[in-house]
């Protein structure tokens, strides 16, 4: 058990939670160019597309319509959660502004991070070094998507 897990489990709750949740159901990122972002995420992860309304992007009223999935794409991740892209962004991402710092996806092992780094290098995708965060019991590898959103891969330290 990592120090991070031990610290979280060792905390006592001062008050009861208002909502019992099992965790994230989905995450959706706003992007500037849906075709470019789809191509990137298809190439990086290859997840099955659950919903693709990107052919409607730019049509009147679509960008504000949840029924039309805002003209975006939704992927089904292997763990069963959904990861979506919404084409309404006007600016590139800035992690220093309120909202989102990064999105992290899990991989099974530190060896998987090594393979991911090699695959990203071979594909010409710039990325950082793998960083072992011993106090949390994880290692991370970061890279940027086409809108400069920081994508991180996280693995348990073996």
Phi/psi for 5 (5° steps) reads -60, -40
Phi/psi for 34 (5° steps) reads -65, -40
Give the CA-trace dihedral at 134, 135, 136, 142, to 10 degrees.
-50
**In a 3-state reduction of DSSP, which class is residue 55?**
helix
Tens digits of residue pLDDT in 54-113: 888 887 887 877 777 877 899 999 999 999 998 987 887 888 887 888 999 999 999 999
SS3 content of the chain, % helix, strand, coil (to 5): 30, 25, 45
Q: How much is the pLDDT for 3?
A: 46
Tens digits of residue pLDDT in 142-152: 999 999 999 99
Q: How much is the pLDDT for 95?
A: 80
Rounded mean pLDDT, 101-128: 95
Tens digits of residue pLDDT in 23-56: 888 899 989 999 999 999 999 999 999 999 888 8
């Amino acid at each position: 058990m990592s120090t991070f897990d031990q610290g979280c489990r060792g905390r006592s709750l001062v008050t009861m939670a208002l909502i019992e949740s099992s965790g994230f159901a989905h995450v959706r990122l706003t992007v500037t160019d849906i075709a470019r972002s789809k191509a990137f995420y298809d190439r990086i992860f290859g997840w099955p597309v659950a919903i693709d309304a990107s052919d409607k992007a730019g049509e009147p009223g679509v960008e504000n319509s949840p029924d039309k999935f805002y003209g975006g794409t939704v992927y089904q991740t292997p763990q069963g959660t959904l990861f979506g892209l919404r084409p309404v962004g006007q600016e590139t991402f800035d992690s220093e502004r309120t909202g989102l710092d990064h999105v992290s996806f899990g991989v099974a092992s530190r060896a998987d991070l090594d393979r991911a780094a090699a695959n990203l290098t071979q594909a010409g995708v710039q990325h950082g070094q793998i960083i072992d965060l011993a106090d949390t019991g994880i290692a991370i590898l970061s890279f940027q998507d086409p809108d400069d959103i920081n994508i991180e891969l996280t693995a348990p330290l073996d």
